[in-house]
C-alpha cells in the first residue's frame, strides 16, 4: 500500500474545503474526506496483517524513500510498523468523529474544517515518518492549527489558553530540535530513524540527549510537571479541538517518547527510567486527585487525561516488553476514550449551555442516548472489564510487576491505587449529571443526539469495544513492535 495516500487524502480534502462555496459543501467534503481516511486506515491494517501473515518480518513495511534535501541527507522516508498502524487507525477514527460533532459550527466554518483537517494531516505524517526531520516537521505543523482553533472558536479564557499551549509546545519542540541535531551530528549526518537505531551512540552522549528528547516529547503528552497546558487548553478548546488535542496530539508525544527517545537512546532510557517512573506515578495520582476537585466537566476530563496518560509514560519507564505494549494500548485506548468523552461533553454543553456538574441532573430521562454514551465512556475510564481501558491498564500493571524490586513494586501499587480515585470521580460526575431528579426545568425541553452525533459516538464506542472485548488483534499489532524496541534496549 502506498503510504503517501495517507498524507494525500487529508491534504486534498483540506484544499477542496478551501475552494468550496458554502458551509454545507464544506461539511460534506470534510466528511467524505475523513471517510476516505478511515477506509485507507483499515486498508492499511489489512494489508499490514496480510504481509505479516505471509511472514514478511521486516521491521518497517511499505517503506518509501524520496530524496528531499539530498546534501543534508534529509529524506521523505516513510514506513509503518504495528505501532504506526494502530496510531493511524486511532487518528482516522477521531478525525471522522471530530468532523461529525462539529457539524453545527457556524462561525467561519471553512477555516474551522481546514484547520481540523490540517491537524489530522500532521498526525498522519508524523506516524509514518522514519526521518527525524520530517517527523519534526509534521509534529510542528499541528501547533498553529491548535492555537487558532482554541483562540478563535474556543470558550472561556481562550486567548490565554491558546498562548500557553502554543508556547509550551514550542518549548518542547525547541528541546526536541536540539536533541535531534545532536543525534544528527553524532550519527554522521543522518536523521534516519532506522539508520540511527543501528548506530552505537556513546553512553555519555545518550545521557545528554535523552532528557532533551524525552522531556521535549513529554511536553506534548503532559509529562508531569509540564502538563499545565493540558487542563487550560482542553477546556478552552471547541469540542472537536479538545477531541483532537487529547485524542491525537497527546499521542504524538507518547509515540515520540518511545520511538525517538527510548528506541534510539536505550542507555539514556535506562539511566533516567526511575525518574520517568516517579514523575508518571506522581502524574497518575496527582491527576486523579486533582480531578476530584473539579466541577467543570471539561476540566474533569482534562485532569483525568493527565492521570491516564501517566499510565503510558509509566509503561515506557518500566522498560519491559509487556509494559511497553500496555503503554501503547493505553495510548490507543485513551485516545478513543477521551475523544468520546469530549464529544459527549460537547453534546451536553450544546444543549444545557453549562458544563458545571452541579447545575445538571437527571439528564438520563431527557437524553437517553447521550447519557448512555456518557456512562459507557465513564466505565471505560474507570477501567471496567469489557472496555479498552481495562485491557490497557491491566497490561501496564502486569508489565510493571515483572520488575521485581521494591521501587518498581511501590510505584506500581501507587499507580494502581489511582483506579479507586478514578472510580470515585467518574461515578460522582455521572451520578450528578445523569441520575436523580431534573434540577433545571428548562432541561425538559432538550432533544437527544442528532444523526451526526449518534454516528460519531457509535464509531468511537465501536473502537472502545473492539479493543475491550477482543484485544488480541491490537496485541498482535503492538507486541512485535514493542519487542523490537526491547531488543534494542537489551542490546541485542
Partner 1 sequence: MNEFFTLMKSELLVTAIIFLLLFIKIGKGMKNESLLSLVQVLLLLNFIAGFFFNKTGNLFGDMFYTTPLIAFQKNILSLAVYLISLLCSDWLKKTGHLPEFFMLMLSALLGMFLMISSSNLLIFYLSLELATIPVAAMANFDLEKKRSSEGAMKMILSSAFSSGILLFGISLLYGTTGTISFPEITAQLDGSSVQILAFIFLVTAFAFKLSIVPFHLWTADVYEGSPMAVTSFLSVVSKGSVAFIFITVLYKMFQPMQDMWYTLLVILAIATMLIGNLFALRQQNIKRFLAFSSIAQVGFILVGISSNDYMGIAAVVYFVLIYVFSNLAAFGVAAVIAEHTGKENIDDYKGLYKTNPFLSWILALALFSLAGVPPTAGFFGKLFLLTAGGAKAAYWFILVAALNMIISLYYYLRVVRAMFMDKNDNPMEPIKVSPVVKLALVICGAGIIMIGLLSWIFEYIKSLH
Least Å distance, CB 401 to partner 1, is 38
Least Å distance, CB 131 to partner 1, is 13
Least Å distance, CB 484 to partner 1, is 29
**CA dihedral of residues 74, 80, 86, 89 (deg, nearest 10):** 80
4 binds partner 1 (CB under 8 A): no
Q: Say how many C-beta atoms besides its own lie within 10 A of residue 401's C-beta.
A: 17
Among 4, 141, 282, 417, binds partner 1 (CB under 8 A): 141
User: Which is closer to partner 1, CB of 140 or CB of 448?
Assistant: 140
Radius of gyration of the chain (CA): 21
Distances (CA, A) of 138 to 2, 68, 94, 250: 18, 15, 18, 14
Nearest CA-CA partner of 195 in 130, 241, 148:
130
175 binds partner 1 (CB under 8 A): yes
C-alpha cell of 371? 447519557
Q: Is the dihedral of CA 400, 401, 407, 413 positive or negative?
A: positive
348 half-sphere exposure, CB direction, 13 A CA radius: 29
Binding mask 77-116 for partner 1 (x = CB under 8 A): ----------------------------------------
181 binds partner 1 (CB under 8 A): yes
Residue 488's contacts (CB-CB under 8 Å, 6 or more residues apart) are 197, 263, 266
195 binds partner 1 (CB under 8 A): no
Among 15, 174, 410, 420, binds partner 1 (CB under 8 A): 174
**Residues 319 to 358 in contact with partner 1, rule: CB under 8 A:** none
**Cα(321)–Cα(475) distance, rounded to whole angstroms?**
12
Distances (CA, A) of 29 to 23, 33, 96, 108, 445: 10, 6, 12, 16, 33
Nearest CA-CA partner of 162 in 95, 238, 106, 221:
238
Piece of 179-187, 241-249, 374-382, 407-415 that binds partner 1 (CB under 8 A): 179-187
**Cα(288)–Cα(290) distance, rounded to whole angstroms?**
5
**Residues 224 to 253 in contact with partner 1, rule: CB under 8 A:** none
Least Å distance, CB 144 to partner 1, is 6
**Cα(139)–Cα(265) distance, rounded to whole angstroms?**
20
Vertex 124, ends 118 and 128: CA angle to 5°? 145
**Residues 431 to 490 in contact with partner 1, rule: CB under 8 A:** none
12 binds partner 1 (CB under 8 A): no
Least Å distance, CB 11 to partner 1, is 10
166 binds partner 1 (CB under 8 A): yes
Least Å distance, CB 122 to partner 1, is 9
Binding mask 142-161 for partner 1 (x = CB under 8 A): -xx--xx--xx-----xx--
Least Å distance, CB 177 to partner 1, is 5
Interacting residues with partner 1 (CB under 8 A): 67-72, 74, 133, 137, 140-141, 143-144, 147-148, 151-152, 158-159, 162-163, 166-167, 170-171, 173-175, 177-178, 181-182, 184-185, 208
Amino acid at each position: 500500500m502506498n503510504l503517501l495516500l495517507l498524507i494525500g487524502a487529508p491534504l486534498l480534502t483540506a484544499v477542496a474545503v478551501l475552494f468550496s462555496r458554502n458551509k454545507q459543501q464544506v461539511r460534506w467534503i470534510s466528511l467524505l474526506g475523513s471517510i476516505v481516511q478511515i477506509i485507507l486506515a483499515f486498508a492499511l491494517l489489512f494489508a499490514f496483517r496480510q504481509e505479516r501473515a505471509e511472514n514478511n518480518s521486516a521491521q518497517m513495511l511499505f517503506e518509501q524513500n524520496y530524496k528531499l534535501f539530498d546534501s543534508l541527507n534529509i529524506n521523505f522516508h516513510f514506513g509503518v510498523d504495528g505501532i504506526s498502524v494502530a496510531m493511524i487507525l486511532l487518528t482516522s477514527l477521531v478525525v471522522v468523529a471530530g468532523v461529525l460533532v462539529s457539524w453545527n459550527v457556524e462561525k467561519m466554518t471553512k477555516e474551522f474544517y481546514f484547520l481540523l483537517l490540517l491537524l489530522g494531516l500532521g498526525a498522519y505524517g508524523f506516524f509514518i515518518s522514519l526521518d527525524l526531520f520530517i517527523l519534526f516537521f509534521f509534529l510542528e505543523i499541528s501547533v498553529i492549527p491548535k492555537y487558532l482553533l482554541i483562540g478563535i472558536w474556543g470558550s472561556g479564557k481562550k486567548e490565554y489558553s491558546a498562548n500557553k499551549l502554543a508556547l509550551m509546545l514550542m518549548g518542547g519542540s525547541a528541546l526536541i530540535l536540539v536533541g535531534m541535531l545532536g543525534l544528527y551530528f553524532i550519527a554522521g549526518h543522518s536523521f534516519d530513524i532506522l539508520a540511527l537505531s543501528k548506530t552505537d551512540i556513546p553512553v555519555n552522549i545518550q545521557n545528554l540527549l535523552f532528557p532533551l528528547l524525552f522531556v521535549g516529547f513529554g511536553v506534548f503528552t503532559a509529562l508531569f510537571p509540564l502538563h499545565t497546558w493540558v487542563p487550560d487548553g482542553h477546556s478552552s478548546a471547541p469540542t472537536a479541538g479538545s477531541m483532537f488535542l487529547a485524542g491525537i496530539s497527546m499521542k504524538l508525544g507518547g509515540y515520540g517518547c518511545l520511538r525517538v527517545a527510548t528506541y534510539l537512546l536505550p542507555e539514556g532510557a535506562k539511566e533516567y527510567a526511575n525518574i520517568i517512573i516517579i514523575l508518571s506515578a506522581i502524574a497518575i495520582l496527582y491527576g486523579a486527585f486533582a480531578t476530584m476537585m473539579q466541577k467543570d466537566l471539561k476540566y474533569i476530563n482534562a485532569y483525568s487525561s493527565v492521570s491516564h496518560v501517566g499510565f503510558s509514560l509509566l509503561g515506557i519507564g518500566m522498560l519491559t516488553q509487556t509494559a511497553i505494549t500496555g503503554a501503547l494500548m493505553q495510548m490507543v485506548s485513551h485516545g478513543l476514550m477521551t475523544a468520546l468523552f469530549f464529544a459527549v461533553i460537547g453534546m451536553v454543553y450544546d444543549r444545557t449551555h453549562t458544563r458545571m456538574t452541579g447545575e445538571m441532573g437527571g439528564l438520563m430521562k431527557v437524553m437517553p442516548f447521550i447519557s448512555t454514551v456518557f456512562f459507557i465512556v465513564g466505565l471505560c475510564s474507570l477501567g471496567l472489564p469489557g472496555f479498552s481501558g481495562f485491557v490497557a491498564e491491566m497490561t501496564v500493571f502486569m508489565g510493571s510487576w515483572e520488575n521485581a524490586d521494591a521501587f518498581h513494586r511501590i510505584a506500581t501499587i501507587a499507580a494502581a491505587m489511582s483506579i479507586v480515585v478514578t472510580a470515585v470521580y467518574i461515578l460522582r460526575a455521572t451520578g450528578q449529571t445523569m441520575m436523580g431528579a431534573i434540577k433545571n426545568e428548562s432541561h425538559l425541553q432538550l432533544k437527544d443526539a442528532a444523526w451526526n452525533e449518534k454516528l460519531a459516538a457509535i464509531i468511537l464506542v465501536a473502537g472502545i469495544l473492539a479493543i475491550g472485548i477482543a484485544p488480541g488483534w491490537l496485541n498482535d499489532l503492538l507486541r512485535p513492535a514493542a519487542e523490537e524496541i526491547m531488543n534494542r534496549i537489551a542490546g541485542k
